[in-house]
Structure 1
Amino acid sequence: MSAFVASGTVDSGHINTDPFWPSIDLDGLRATLRIDPSVTPARLETAVIAAAINLNNELSEWRTAQQAAGYVTLADVPGDRIKDVSVKVHLYRRAIEAGTGAEVCERYRDYSVTNTGSDKADALTPNIDDYRRDLRWAVRDFLGRTRTTVELI
C-alpha cells in the first residue's frame, strides 16, 4: 500500500499568454500567495492558466485599444511606475494572483476527506471571497474605474 507524500520541492517556470501581457513567474506567485507544496506544479499551472484566460478575456478590448495606439506590451503603455515597474503591470499580476488564489482555494477541498481536511477547507472559504474581491478591485483599478457602484432604486 502506497501513500501520497508531497515533496518540499516544486518545479519553477513561467506562464506566457499573449505577448502583450507579462509572463507570470510560478515561483514568485507561489511565494506571494504562500501556496504550500501540496499544491502540485501541474495544479498551480492549471489555476494560473484559468486565471489568465479569464483576465485576458476581460481586458481584451482595452488591450486592443492599446495595441492600436502603438504599444507592443503592457510595460510600454505610459503611466505611473512603482519600483520601476508599470502600475498596470503590478495590477495585472495582482489580478492573476487573486484569480489563482481563488481557484486553488476552491479546489483545495479535493485534497482530503478527513475531518481535519474538511475543517481546513471550511477555514479557507473566507479567503476565496477575499481573493475574488481582490481580483475585482485589481481589474477596476487597472481600468481606472471606481471600486463601488451605488444606485438608488
Structure 2
Amino acid sequence: MSFFAVEPTQDNQHIIQSSDFWPNIDTAQLRATMRLDGTVTDERLIHSAINAVSSVNSELKEWMQDKKTAGYDSLQLVPAENINGESVYVHLYTRAIYSMTRANLIERLRDYDTTGAGDNDVNALEDTITNLHRDARFAIRDILGKNHSTVELI
C-alpha cells in the first residue's frame, strides 16, 4: 500500500470574465467541481480557464450574435429549461469550460513532471483527456441544438 500526499486546495477565488453575454467563471467553483487539488496553481488554473473560455466563446460566436439580435442580452435570458434554478444553457456552457480547462491541465502534466513517472501518469489519463474533450464538445453541440455525432460519407 502506498500513500501519496496531495497538495491542499488553494481557496483563492478568481473570476474569469468575458463579454457581458457569457456568465463569469468562478475558479474556486471550477476547482471544487473538477476536483483539482493544490498541485494546480491558481496561475495555471486561470491560464487554462481563459484558454477554455476563449475557445468555447469562439465556437459559439455566431449563435451568441443570433441570440443578441433576437433581443437576449445574456445567456441566462435565452429561453431554456431551468434546472436547479439556472438555465440549461448556463449549465452546458459551464460544463464546456470546466471540461476544456481540466483536459488542458492534464495535457500539460508532462510540463509539470517530465520524469518517466509523469509520462506514465499522462499516458494513463489519455482516456480521461478524450472524455473531457468529448464532454465539452457535447455541451457546445447541445447549446447549438446539433446532434452529438457527425456522419460523413466516404
TM-score, length basis structure 1: 0.91
Which residue of the partner structure matches residue 114 of structure 2? Answer: 113
* Aligned-residue CA RMSD (Å): 1.6
1:8 positional shift: 4.3
Which residue of the partner structure matches residue 66 of structure 2? Answer: 65
Determine whether 1:56 maps to 2:53. Answer: no
1:10 positional shift: 4.2
1:7 positional shift: 5.7
For 1:57, the aligned partner's letter is S
Which residue of the partner structure matches residue 129 of structure 2? Answer: 128
Q: 1:133, 1:90 → 2: CA distance?
A: 16
For 1:141, the aligned partner's letter is D
SS of equivalent residue, structure 1 residue 149: coil
Which residue of the partner structure matches residue 100 of structure 2? Answer: 99
SS of equivalent residue, structure 2 residue 146: coil
Consecutive aligned runs of 4 or more in structure 1 exceeding 3 Å deviation: none
For 2:48, the aligned partner's letter is A
SS of equivalent residue, structure 2 residue 52: helix
1:152 positional shift: 3.7
For 1:113, the aligned partner's letter is T
Determine whether 1:21 maps to 2:22. Answer: yes
TM-score, length basis structure 2: 0.90
Q: 2:37, 2:109 → 1: CA distance?
A: 11
For 1:123, the aligned partner's letter is A
Q: Paired residues, what number?
A: 149
